[in-house]
Amino acid sequence: MSRIVAIILQKGGTAKSVTTANLGMALAERGQRVLLIDLDPQASLTESLGVKPTDLTKSLHEALIGEAAILDVALPVGPLTLVPSVIDLASAELLMSAEVGRDQILTEALAPALEQFDWILIDCPPSLSLLTLNALTAADEYLVPCETQFLALRGLDHLTKTIERIRRRTNPRLRLLGVLPTKYNPRTTLDNEVLAELRHRYPGKVFEPIKFSVRFSESTVAGKALLEYDPKHPGAQAYRDLAEVISRAS
Ligand SMILES: Nc1ncnc2c1ncn2[C@@H]1O[C@H](COP(=O)(O)OP(=O)(O)OP(=O)(O)O)[C@@H](O)[C@H]1O
Ligand SMILES: [Mg+2]
């Protein structure tokens, strides 16, 4: 059975998509079967893996509105399998909102994939939309990439409230996999204060931070995960270390 992980924070630009791509790649390097779901209508995960949304005839959109099976819209991307997104996903959300059991649509769509993958990583949009609620309802665990900036802490408070509601209403088994500090600059006092605050709020649940590096943006522009673009880079190694830690914690 798969471990389904929602990668989530409502705040924009906290490295959710970069984490989905690189953690996915690191798990695949460990011989795991990994399915990535691009749940964001911005399609940044799809583009960052070198797939052009405009070239696609089928995407997650069709799977969510019941016109295709999820595995029929999935594409191989190196060692990974990607369910791509398109801008059209926003209109799927409108159609979904009129459905019975509208929070459960992704859960139902993912059912046929559970036996085929060890990990299903869901890259969430930076908003609390119906798509995000579907991700939190389908997931077993959630992983929170959080910049070491004070504003990101506010996003976390908001997320905690959402998770409480999801646990009460649609998914009591949802649990925190951990908080991943991202874009961390160890030489900045503010970054270290935020890191300390995260560790204080989530004891034992904060992973080793991913340091700031322009190589991440460069790899995104090149349409590759950093693990593929610059496999020996310390940032790539940091995601391998994360993959090892989360593989141990079941
Ligand atoms: N550790 C890092 N150091 C420097 N830049 C990073 C790092 N991780 C990600 N980035 C860059 O930050 C930007 C935002 O990253 P990303 O798209 O993964 O964030 P996101 O949380 O998915 O954003 P959105 O909320 O818009 O979906 C990208 O340009 C990415 O290359
Ligand atoms: Mg993103």
Please say if the pLDDT value at position 249 is more than 80. Answer: no
For the CA of 12, the nearest ligand: 1
How far away, in angstroms, is 195 Cα from ligand 1 center?
18
What's the pLDDT at 128?
87
Report the pLDDT averaged over residues 101-110: 96
Tokens 């910049």 locate to 147
Pocket test for ligand 1, best of 17, 20, 191, 210 (most atoms within 8 A of CB): 17
CB of 44 closer than 6 angstroms to any ligand 1 atom = yes
Please say if the pLDDT value at position 92 is more than 90. Answer: no
Residue-level length of the chain: 250
CA distance 13 to 2: 27
CATH architecture of 3-248: 3-Layer(aba) Sandwich (3.40)
Report the pLDDT averaged over residues 67-84: 97
CB of 229 closer than 6 angstroms to any ligand 1 atom = no
Would you list the domain boundaries of the chain? Answer: 3-248
pLDDT, tens digit (0-9, with 9 covering 90-100), for 142-152: 999 999 998 88
Residues with Cβ within 8 Å of 83's Cβ and at least 6 positions away in sequence, in order, are: 35, 36, 37, 38, 59, 60, 63, 70, 73, 74, 75
How far apart, in Å, are the Cα atoms of 219 and each of 39, 145, 201, 203, 245? 21, 18, 32, 32, 24
Report the pLDDT averaged over residues 177-205: 97
For the CA of 181, the nearest ligand: 1
CB of 45 closer than 6 angstroms to any ligand 1 atom = no
Q: Where does the pLDDT of residue 203 fall: very low under 50, low under 70, confident under 90, or very high at 90 and above?
A: very high
CB of 12 closer than 6 angstroms to any ligand 1 atom = yes
Q: What is the pTM of this model?
A: 0.97
What's the pLDDT at 122?
98
CB of 23 closer than 6 angstroms to any ligand 1 atom = no
Residue whose CA lies nearest to ligand 1 atom number 6: 216
Residue whose CA lies nearest to ligand 1 atom number 14: 13
What's the pLDDT at 250?
65
CB of 46 closer than 6 angstroms to any ligand 1 atom = no
